[in-house]
Structure 1
Amino acid sequence: MAGQKPSGLDVYARPYIPQALKSVNHLAARSVYSELVRRVDFPEYVRSFAGWQFLPADASPPAPAGKAHVNRNLAKHLESKRYHSYFRDALVQEAQHLQYECEENALYKVTLFQAPSDPRPATFWLHVPGLREASLRVEIGDIVLLRQLHFGMRGEVLEAPFLTYHDDQPVVVSPYVNSQYHSVIWGIDRLRERLTLKVDGLLPTSMSFNASFTLQGARLGALSKAVADVEYLLTTNQGSCWMRSMLFPESGDGVMQKTLNKGTISWKPRDSQLNYEQIRAVDNVLSRAYGTIPYMISGPPGTGKTKTLVELALQLISATPEAHLLVCAPSDPAADTLTQRLRQHMAPKQLLRLNSPSRSFPEVPMSILPFCHVDEDMFSLPPFPQMMAYKIVVTSCRDAEILVRARLKNADLFSLEYGMQSSFHPERDIAPPALHWTGLLMDEAAQAIEPEACIPLTVIAPPQESTPLQQAPPIFVMAGDQNQLGPRTASKGTAIQTSLFERLLRRSIYSEHPLARSKQSGGVMRPLTQKLLPILRPPFANLIRNYRSHPAILATPSALFYNDTLEPEATTTDSLLTWQGWKGEKWPVFFAINSGLDEIEQDGGGWYNNAEACMACEYAQSFLKAGLLEPREVCIMSPFRAQVNLLRKIARQKEYKIAMRDVSIGPLEAFQGLESKLVIFCTTRTRDRFIEQDLARGLGVVHEPRRFNVAMTRAKEGLVVIGNPAVLEKDPCWLAFLMFCRRNGLWDYVGGSWSPPGNGPGRASRLEKQLLHAKEMADRHAHGLSNGVRALGLVDDDEHVLWQSGVDMETALREADAGADDDDEEVESASEASGKGG
């Protein structure tokens, strides 16, 4: 293979499956169906509180996505008149890739085990590799096709045996008929990577099977229906205004600000730890002075996006007794986190965690089960009167479809109430009723594909009839970070890979605003001054204070992704500084060179690196032996599943003096939104030959800036990165990190050497300069004390005041063009912001 081009070798080729095993799946067979899991009977639910006479048409469930062909004349630009067609083709592509994903995960010659502890009849266990990392997308109620295998005396696969063997005993199978069992997933145990299957009518002549997973078209059908509903609202005369301003906001939808904001707030925060930016974000939404437009909360890692949304939700329902909020997130775990935060302030009769009936009970944290509604053995909808009484309903974006099918949208409830009142009192002029849903708050919005975000948006959309003048239209607030991992999709390079959050932030009303993060320079957030007025009132908030990580960990991501604006506010990030392995400036960041070759599993399971895995476990042991942390406070991650499996295997070995069973080891994607005291990141790839194939499949961390950002921002007090600089330097993000380590000696020279490309050492970020300045001041201070005399530059109280004055003067000069020399009344709470900045 020495002379072979990289493109000529597909290292991700599917593992070899004997043709005899494959052919079993294509034999003529009778279908044997199993009992389906219970579902919500939506027509019956609607009949429980209303007839169909007063509800708008189209109450049917969404149609499956089908096997439509992709229209090659794709709409290149998203606009309101082609909204559905733009996303329809992308969703068809997604369906095709999901089907391919199902085929890729098909299992051959696997054993089905009887479930001894399950009281339900005909239940079996199936081990599914990769289920823990959610590489296979399955839900309760999905169909798994099973083909029973029979073998001859020599182990050959028999297509239609008359004699087979069970427990080494001959079994006569005559007459024999091939069967395809349509088993149903009744339980999911991701930790043990095990599915519980209901397989009715199974003849146990053999417990060896081929298992094929199937695409459930209704999932994509719900997304397709949502974008179709949105297009209808965008193009109808009466319903277009609100939806258009939410999805295609323009400057005319905003409000011009002519005076500076007041420096006080009229509400009492529930969370006393809120900072200035978070308080301003909540206050802006409460005042609704920014116009009829989505309010965007841009929150880099560790800046408290969820904290801000929770405070906003509590203030909204407190300020307006008639308020009812829908709070969503793209994933169930993120929705669970929101519920965990809200339950501390709310009773179960006020807060509902709405789960899909297909969700498994073990996946739901025990602490939030009292806030869920369970009907016998499944999650369900509460009775209508109880449902309408909840002040906040938390659900995933996709599960908001439950509200759509139950006819609990604003438009449906409005039509029902208005139609019934008009029928009861035909002689009166009935005032339009108030809308039930007054707002939608969406957390982790950058991880939701736009059709997914459309589902809850259609729930709160006002009816086509004019909204009463005395009632404000529903608000829409999103919080997220478009610089971290975006939506998880099976297809690459399609329209659905860009979230609604990211697309909106690209619109000029946000991106070209003078106070946008992208418009800041020098790492200083520009304050609003009198000279900037009049100005469009900013429909966004930029969170800048990081409460997670040591400044050295933040330095590179802040410069690369957030215009150098992050402010480190964490107060307990120094506990690992006594580790003997830190180099150079002794900051808690360390790059270890690994020259061991990356290898690929023979069955196509993925890439692994033995040398790197051993290094990672040794570093973890070193920290544990020093007694600096507990195993549960250590995280080891890699972008490749095979390396994760190898790391888990090595970490569980008994020869380690300190057991590492509680060390968190997993793929990079599993740690987005999480944090750990110590992060050991394994880049794994040490050869650049297959990077193009990595990119094509969305794997690895080279030329993947968002993956890089996630990897660099999980650590709180210590970050160890293992990799080959000769490969990583080809990526601008990694090059910036390598230069940062090189400049400051945060490097392991034993494992190899590296010379940075170019002539210069690279430009230091604002946080890096602050760290160097603090180190210099500390050194001078220590030198002055050791000699018993006052050294030049000693940071005593007087000189600290002078130094701080110099910093303040530099800031003032930067803001001179914005009117920073005006009197204090002309600055928007500048003194308050400075005081909280620290």
Structure 2
Amino acid sequence: MSIIPLHCIQEPEYKKAHERYALHKKIRSSECQLSEQIKEMEARFENYEEENKLPSSREKKQLRALIKEAETTVIHKGGYQIVFCTCSEAGSARVVDNIKPTHLIIDEAAMITEPEAMIPIQLADHVTLIGDHQQLQPVINYKHAKERGLGCSLFERYAQSNKDSHDAICKFPSEQFYDGQLITDQSVSQQFCSLEGFWPNGPNCPIAFCDVEGKEEDGSIDHKVYRESKRNRIEADKTAEIIVALRKKITQNNINNPLRIAVLTPYKAQKKLMEEIVKEKNLNVDSVLTITESQGCEFEFVILSTVRSIPRTKLKNRAAVQPDRTWIGEHLGSLTDRHQICVGITRAKYGLVIVGNAELLKYNETWEKLLKHYEERGCKEEVKDFLTRNNN
């Protein structure tokens, strides 16, 4: 099977492994007869830059024509059966003129606008959209365009959601975000890894909310302080202890299958702090990601660190605090984003642990409902009780 990406993704690991397959690399490789001419002209342009000169319009036109001819030749001679490109690129001349697909797959289709989706859809007879409309949406910076419907993806108009997670993990997001229509894969329950003694309400209810009064502070990334990014050292340390307890239970239950543990958080500063702790303590963790980065991923176990915290003495009398939009934005920030919440609590297949300040989170309607859901099922504990029980 022949595959060609028209652009190479910039993530270092992917780029290193697959860059040679990208079209812009192939037209400059030995398999393209025009490669030497292209490289010669590009070297000439580099010399112009060093000499503070500009190439002539004729030279620019000549290079563009060379590249276009080389791309056409490589695409036609390669006989490629699979082509990777962005939705916008699907409307370019090199795709429209040279590629006639019969089948189209758009991944993360809920994250692109409807006009973007329509660009590639016109090329193929059979179209498959993959995504989740209740998770991250298209990024629309113009408020009025978003209010008038541009933020609604084509996927959202047709969506029915399926999830490869345990029923107990899916129940709350199904009721809260999907009108009870979230369909769980029964094979997950059959493969489920029971951890006797780890979960507050027993092995058949693999969810837990660990309540902790941490101390949040403005985040530091690359020695710069960012007020919009937060971190919480107390919560990070408790998260590390939960990781150790979880790995211990996996070993005690004689589970030999490789099980991936991920730590998620809404904030880059907390992610950086957790990465430092994981390295310092040599913790067995597969991924430390922000919630946004985790979109499209799944892990056997997820520990979600919510970060934001206020001393409980200041929250003791909720009536004394006016939960207006400004106050909530200041103290909860992105934690109030329903789509971020949905992504964060639906990445786990076999078990989910949420770590946070319950009293503060209750100021948000969605978190208040989640906490009530966990409390009714006996799945909410003080973090010290959770750890004490698991260390016995």
TM-score norm. by structure 2 comes to 0.69
Whole-angstrom CA distance in 2 between matches of 1:738 and 1:389: 55
Whole-angstrom CA distance in 1 between matches of 2:125 and 2:258: 47
Given that 2:160 and 2:181 are in contact with CA atoms closer than 8 Å, whether structure 1 keeps it comes out as no
Given that 1:451 and 1:496 are in contact with CA atoms closer than 8 Å, whether structure 2 keeps it comes out as no
Whole-angstrom CA distance in 1 between matches of 2:144 and 2:349: 35
1:438 offset after TM fit, Å? 4.5
Q: In terms of Rg, which structure is larger?
A: 1
Kindly provide the CA deviation profile for residues 775-826 of structure 1, in whole angstroms up to 9, marking residues without a partner as x.
Answer: xxxxxxxxxxxxxxxxxxxxxxxxxxxxxxxxxxxxxxxxxxxxxxxxxxxx
Whole-angstrom CA distance in 2 between matches of 1:609 and 1:355: 38
Whole-angstrom CA distance in 2 between matches of 1:682 and 1:551: 22
1:454 offset after TM fit, Å? 4.8
1:640 offset after TM fit, Å? 0.8
Whole-angstrom CA distance in 2 between matches of 1:392 and 1:476: 14
1:397-476 correspondence to structure 2 within 5 Å:
397-400=87-90, 404-406=92-94, 408-409=95-96, 436-438=100-102, 440-457=104-121, 460=123, 474=125, 476=127
Kindly provide the CA deviation profile for residues 369-396 of structure 1, in whole angstroms up to 9, marking residues without a partner as x.
Answer: 6686623369983516626944442212
2:348 maps to amino acid: A
1:665 offset after TM fit, Å? 0.9
Whole-angstrom CA distance in 1 between matches of 2:133 and 2:148: 9
| Other-structure match for 1:479 | 130
1:563 maps to amino acid: D
Kindly provide the CA deviation profile for residues 422-453 of structure 1, in whole angstroms up to 9, marking residues without a partner as x.
Answer: xxxxxxxxxxxxx9445543221111134543
1:700 maps to amino acid: S
Kindly provide the CA deviation profile for residues 722-760 of structure 1, in whole angstroms up to 9, marking residues without a partner as x.
Answer: 1112222222322222111111111214669xxxxxxxx
1:744-823 correspondence to structure 2 within 5 Å:
744-749=377-382
Given that 1:449 and 1:496 are in contact with CA atoms closer than 8 Å, whether structure 2 keeps it comes out as no
1:575 offset after TM fit, Å? 1.7
| Other-structure match for 2:143 | 493
Whole-angstrom CA distance in 2 between matches of 1:588 and 1:701: 23
Rate the CA distance shift 1:711–1:651 in 2: closer, same or farther, 3 A: same
Farther-moved stretch of structure 1 (479-488 vs 389-398): 389-398
231, 255, 264: which one aligns with 1:637: 264
171, 174, 181: which one aligns with 1:558: 174
1:700 offset after TM fit, Å? 2.5
165, 169, 175: which one aligns with 1:549: 165
| Other-structure match for 2:233 | 610
Whole-angstrom CA distance in 2 between matches of 1:475 and 1:368: 28
Kindly provide the CA deviation profile for residues 230-268 of structure 1, in whole angstroms up to 9, marking residues without a partner as x.
Answer: xxxxxxxxxxxxxxxxxxxxxxxxxxxxxxxxxxxxxxx
1:637 maps to amino acid: L
Whole-angstrom CA distance in 1 between matches of 2:11 and 2:147: 28
Given that 1:590 and 1:719 are in contact with CA atoms closer than 8 Å, whether structure 2 keeps it comes out as yes
1:298-337 correspondence to structure 2 within 5 Å:
none
2:236 maps to amino acid: A
2:336 corresponds to 1:719 = no
| Other-structure match for 1:583 | 200
2:57 corresponds to 1:395 = no
355, 363, 373: which one aligns with 2:14: 363
1:589-604 correspondence to structure 2 within 5 Å:
589-601=207-219, 603-604=224-225
Given that 2:134 and 2:177 are in contact with CA atoms closer than 8 Å, whether structure 1 keeps it comes out as yes
1:743 maps to amino acid: E
2:28 maps to amino acid: E
Structure 1 unaligned residues grouped into runs of 5+? 1-346, 414-434, 461-472, 511-539, 753-838
Given that 2:139 and 2:151 are in contact with CA atoms closer than 8 Å, whether structure 1 keeps it comes out as no
Kindly provide the CA deviation profile for residues 339-389 of structure 1, in whole angstroms up to 9, marking residues without a partner as x.
Answer: xxxxxxxx11xx433225x85785347379668662336998351662694
Q: Secondary structure at the match of 1:556?
A: helix
Kindly provide the CA deviation profile for residues 389-425 of structure 1, in whole angstroms up to 9, marking residues without a partner as x.
Answer: 4444221223335xx143x42xx67xxxxxxxxxxxx
1:480 maps to amino acid: G
| Other-structure match for 1:376 | 28
| Other-structure match for 1:733 | 366
Q: Secondary structure at the match of 2:275?
A: helix
Q: Secondary structure at the match of 1:653?
A: helix
Q: Secondary structure at the match of 1:381?
A: helix
Q: Secondary structure at the match of 2:130?
A: strand
1:664 offset after TM fit, Å? 1.1
Q: Secondary structure at the match of 1:740?
A: helix
Given that 1:652 and 1:661 are in contact with CA atoms closer than 8 Å, whether structure 2 keeps it comes out as no
Structure 2 unaligned residues grouped into runs of 5+? 30-34, 36-66, 311-322, 386-392
1:493 maps to amino acid: K
| Other-structure match for 1:325 | none
Kindly provide the CA deviation profile for residues 468-490 of structure 1, in whole angstroms up to 9, marking residues without a partner as x.
Answer: xxxxx84554332210111246x
How many residues end up aligned between the 2 structures?
320
| Other-structure match for 2:308 | 685
Rate the CA distance shift 1:388–1:436 in 2: closer, same or farther, 3 A: farther
Whole-angstrom CA distance in 2 between matches of 1:501 and 1:600: 31
2:329 maps to amino acid: E
1:701 maps to amino acid: L
Whole-angstrom CA distance in 2 between matches of 1:620 and 1:631: 15
TM-score norm. by structure 1 comes to 0.34
Whole-angstrom CA distance in 1 between matches of 2:258 and 2:374: 26
Given that 2:5 and 2:85 are in contact with CA atoms closer than 8 Å, whether structure 1 keeps it comes out as yes
